Amino acid sequence: MAQDVDSQLVHKLAKLLEETGLGEIEYATDTWRIRVARPAAAVTTLAAPPAPPATQAIAEAGPAVDHAGALKSPMVGTAYLAPDPQSPPFVSVGSSVVEGDTVMIIEAMKVMNAIPAHRSGMIKEITVTSGQPTEFGQVLMVIE
């Protein structure tokens, strides 16, 4: 049995796409699923929002995308550098990590996903700020 489309939900999801700059979003319940996506042409022509002053130096230097130590985002979501706002960050530049250590959290669809270090080493660079939206494949940090 077909259900009518909840146009208010579609509008809310479209507004969320606009506000976050994401390319698509999917919402599901036990009985139905809805996916809202921007046309591919619109995504490729969007300009990146200006970086906040605290992160401009990182953006200008540009993370080493092809660097072997580049830890890339496994998903679209929101990055958090600490387990909660009152806690210190999991890691900072200069911290030593062991492969598998949690270095940040990415929230996706209200689920907090621990992001592990993909190798042992020292944190050379952190390319995101807490609360920043992330894209799949975006460099989050560099571990040397």
Q: Does residue 66 lie within any of the structural domains?
A: yes
List Cβ neighbours of 89 (8 Å cut-off, separation of 6 or more): 81, 82, 104, 130
- Look at residue 77 and tell me if it is in a domain: yes
Percent of the chain with pLDDT over 90: 23
Does residue 20 lie in a domain region? yes
Residues 59 and 41 in one domain: no
CATH number of the structural domain spanning residue 65? 2.40.50.100
Nearest CA among 127, 114, 107, 22 for reference residue 67: 127
For residue 66, name the pLDDT band (cuts at 50, 70, 90).
low
Bridge partners (DSSP) of residue 26 are 35
- Give how many domains the chain has, as a whole number: 2
Whether the predicted pLDDT of 8 surpasses 60? yes
Q: Which residues of 23-35 are buried (b: 16+ CB within 10 A; e: fewer)?
A: bebebeeeeeeee
132 contact partners, CB below 8 Å, separation of at least 6:
55, 78, 79
Give residue-wise pLDDT tens across range 70-110.
889 888 999 999 988 888 999 999 999 999 999 999 988 88
Q: Give bridge partners of residue 35 from the DSSP assignment.
A: 26
Domain extent at residue 74: 53-143
Answer yes or no: do 58 and 126 share one domain. yes
If asked whether residues 85 and 17 sit together in one domain, one would say no
Same domain? For 110 and 83 the reply is: yes
Shared domain check, 62 and 19: no
Whether residue 38 is found in the same domain as residue 62: no
- pLDDT of 111-140, one tens digit each? 888 999 999 999 999 999 999 999 988 999
